[in-house]
Structure 1
Amino acid sequence: MTYVLGLTGGIASGKSTVSFFLKNQGAVIIDGDVVAREVVKKNSLGLKQIIEKFGEEFITNTGELNRRRLGDLVFNDKDSLKKLTSITGPLIHKRVRKLIEDEKNRKSRLIVLDIPLLFEGNYQQYCDDVMCVCVPEKIQIKRLMKRDHFSEQQARNRILSQMESVKRCALADILIDNSKQVEETLNQVLKWLEIMDLG
């Protein structure tokens, strides 16, 4: 029987660290960011729809999506973010459903659906349980500034564009505290795998 775990957490919460660890433990990872890039790649239906709604100025000279430029727009304008989500959302859902189906047919034991906006996008409907990686906002801002070279305001805008951490954690079934050392974080995940007999 295949167990589908939803994995989520705010931007710069350490979700990728947990995802990488689960992969090393034998889980099949369906990465929402990878799928999101796939559906708007060069010459895709998603990219054509983005050009129609937002214009050619968000396309690079090589015909690809200028992610940084579009990101700066949508993370500062809720209507634009809604418009973008109305394009990418259905395409990502369709692809995720297909990937889960394929892995179930392969009799994979543990599938991890690694999606930052898991609850916002209603992807929990495909999961048996949802694990949320939690971290205080102060640490989140610091990590985001360091990782992506954002100003404090840019980091705050990215965080504010997502669901509040408290709400996300309240909706999840399993909470992983990532405010201390990485070893402590991974120990919590390991314990969960042992309890679920998925290790």
Structure 2
Amino acid sequence: MSCLITRATALFGVANFSTDFSGNAAFNQIWNTLGGDTFYNLYIDDGSGFVNSGDGSSASINITLTPGVHTYSIYGDPGLANRTWALNLFFNGDTTTPGISAVNSDGAAGTSLFADSGSTLTLAGNSVTGAGTLQFIDGFTTVTLTSYTFSDVAALDRVSPFSTSPNTILDFAGSFTLDVVATPEPASAALLGASLVFLAAYRRRRSGS
């Protein structure tokens, strides 16, 4: 009998933007998965192809996060060289409060990654305080951001500002990885605890007989 939940968390939006070294949004370069607004679209590939496309509603995402490790490639076009980038991830229909906020200050290497609690952006590009954490917990799952890269050194041309078609301009590209772990339901966790107590008592009784 499994004590893990069957409901899943959804990755509902991603905003990728330039920042200063402290993680405060610089407002000069913004890509998102909102669609239909003035910002360039951020396109996401889950390894089998793009999960969003075009502009408007087709540029939005609603990715079910099943337990496991998931890596997503991200593409935005065009862009200007910047040393420090930030990533806001939004979950379960919320587009205004990031569940995870991260800063990457070394582009393609991704070795300088830290949680962002500075002045960041909502999915629509408005100011919001960063989540200050690389982990999102909603009672269904625990989602941990384990890596994030973004730069102009990949020499790829897969997208345009508002479509998943090349345009002879090299993209800014990177990736992020999420480690998703299912969370036991309270009732199931209590049942499991009771079962373990019973098993321990049974073993003590047998060892004493």
Q: Same fold (TM over 0.5)?
A: no
Q: Which has the higher strand share?
A: 2
Larger relative contact order (CA 8 Å, sep ≥ 6): 1
- The structure with the larger Rg is 2
